[in-house]
């Protein structure tokens, strides 16, 4: 039986903590004496029961995104590029390769490069080995390259790429100064006339401001409330030719 690629679970620690909090609320609701209102005894402590649901629902929605929604979101991002097949592509924060491989499959003579520092807090099983395994399973080895690099300081020369992609990466740079540097690096390595497509659930306006200052014409798309959780927003920037 042929192997299937595994693109992992996004923010696994967040999902785990939300589910543990939900279970703890249910346990407390069962353990504590039930309050009464007008001589009616509740089966569960209502406030704790609602708290359990408040923790469980986002965890479930995040799991749905990790298993289903992110494939739709990847295609939504890639559709912002008018592909010819000859592009040089950079995926900033490649992780286990969902976006990188999706781009590589659209290439003929082009080549896609993925960079990351592979933090396991951001994605379950996050490692260059997992990425290379998915690349092999998807059959795009000849069109891809993988490098361990920080988005804030890339080794590529100016104007190296026709397309730069990034999804749910830049917010993991916690200091604003670092995110500014990453945006400037994205603008620097983009060729004249090239396109950057970035998606995230926060700081997107900040990225737009930085890319605009770097000379890109930026377009912001609405939040995706139906296919991603947290809702993601896409930014498309084009560098002047």
Q: Write down the pLDDT at residue 50.
A: 83
Q: Name the pTM for this structure.
A: 0.90
Residue 7 forms part of a structural domain: no
Same domain, 61 and 173: no
Give residue 2's pLDDT.
58
Note the pLDDT of residue 33: 59
Is 109 buried (19+), middle (13-18) or exposed (0-12) by CB count in 10 A?
exposed
Answer yes or no: do 50 and 117 share one domain.
Answer: no
Domain containing 139 — which CATH number?
Answer: 3.40.50.150
User: Is residue 235 in a domain?
Assistant: yes
Q: Classify residue 60: in a domain, yes or no.
A: yes
Residue 31 lies in a domain: yes
Residue-range definition of the domain harbouring residue 22: 12-71
Q: pLDDT at position 47, please?
A: 76
Digit-by-digit pLDDT tens for the chain (241 residues) are: 458 999 999 999 999 999 999 999 888 877 765 655 554 454 556 677 788 899 999 999 999 999 999 999 999 999 999 999 999 999 999 999 999 999 999 999 999 999 999 988 889 999 999 999 999 999 999 999 999 999 999 999 999 999 999 999 999 999 999 999 999 999 999 999 999 999 999 999 999 999 999 999 999 999 999 889 999 999 999 999 8
Q: What is the pLDDT of residue 28?
A: 81
Q: Are residues 196 and 171 in the same domain?
A: yes
Q: What is the largest CA-CA distance in the chain?
A: 75
Same domain, 63 and 98: no
Do 101 and 55 fall within a single domain? no
Give the helix/strand (H/E) hosting 102. Answer: helix 98-104
> Are 149 and 45 found together in one domain?
no
Residue 67 sits in the same domain as residue 97: no
**Confidence at residue 64, expressed as pLDDT on a 0 to 100 scale:** 94
Residues near 187 by beta carbon (within 8 Å), at least 6 away in sequence:
196, 210, 211, 214, 215, 216, 237, 239
pLDDT given at position 30: 75
- Count of domains for the chain: 2
Q: Which two tokens stand for residue 126?
A: 């996050």
User: How many other C-beta atoms are found inside a 10 Å radius of the C-beta of residue 166?
Assistant: 25
């Amino acid at each position: 039986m042929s192997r299937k690629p595994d693109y992992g679970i996004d923010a696994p620690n967040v999902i785990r903590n939300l589910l543990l909090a939900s279970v703890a609320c249910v346990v407390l609701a069962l353990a504590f004496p039930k309050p009464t209102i007008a001589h009616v005894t509740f089966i569960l402590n209502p406030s704790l029961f609602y708290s359990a649901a408040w923790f469980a629902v986002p965890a479930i929605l995040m799991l749905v995104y990790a298993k289903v929604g992110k494939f739709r979101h990847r295609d939504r991002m890639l559709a912002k590029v008018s592909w010819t097949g000859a592009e040089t592509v950079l995926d900033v924060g490649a992780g286990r390769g969902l976006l990188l491989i999706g781009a590589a499959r659209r290439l003929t003579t082009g080549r896609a490069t993925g960079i990351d520092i592979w933090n396991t807090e951001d994605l379950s099983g996050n490692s260059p080995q997992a990425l290379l395994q998915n690349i092999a399973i998807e059959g795009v080895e000849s069109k891809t390259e993988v490098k361990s690099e920080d988005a804030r300081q890339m080794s590529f020369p100016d104007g190296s790429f026709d397309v730069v992609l990034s999804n749910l990466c830049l917010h993991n740079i916690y200091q604003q100064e670092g995110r500014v540097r990453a945006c400037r690096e994205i603008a620097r390595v983009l060729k004249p006339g090239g396109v950057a497509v970035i998606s995230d659930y926060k700081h997107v306006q900040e990225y737009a401001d930085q890319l605009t200052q770097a000379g890109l014409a930026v377009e912001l798309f609405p939040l995706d409330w139906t296919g991603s959780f947290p809702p993601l927003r896409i930014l498309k920037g084009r560098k002047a030719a």
